[in-house]
Amino acid sequence: INKTIGCSRFVFNHFLSLWDNAYKETGKGLTYGTCSGKLPAMKKEFVWLKEVDSIAIQSSVRNLADAYTRLFKKQNNAPRFKSKKNNIQS
C-alpha cells in the first residue's frame, strides 16, 4: 500500500508541475484527457509505475483535475505538491 501511495503522489506532483508550466506559458492548463493520455508513456519511462494499481494512479490525475476545476470556480486554493512527510497521505 505504501508503494501505491508513493506512486500516486509522484504522478500527482509530476502532472502538477506540467500543469503549472503549461499555465504559465500559454495561460491555459492541461485537461484530464491530456494528462491521462500521457500515463502510458510515463509507465514506459518509469517502469515501477506498472507495479501498482492503475486505478489509483488515474485517480490521482482525476483529483488534480478536480482541484483545478475547484480553483477556477473559486471554491479552493491552488493545489500544492504532495509531501511524503504529511501524516495524511494522498
Question: For the segment 49-86, what is each residue's pLDDT rounded down to a tens digit?
Answer: 899 988 999 999 999 999 888 888 888 888 888 888 77
* Confidence label for 15 from pLDDT (cuts 50, 70 and 90): very high
The answer to whether position 83 is within a domain reads: no
| Domain count for the chain | 1
| Nearest Cα residue to 11 out of 24, 46, 27 | 46
Q: Taking the model in full, what pTM does it have?
A: 0.85
CA dihedral 47, 53, 59, 64 (to 10 degrees): -30
The answer to whether position 79 is within a domain reads: no
The answer to whether position 40 is within a domain reads: yes
Range of the domain at 45: 2-72
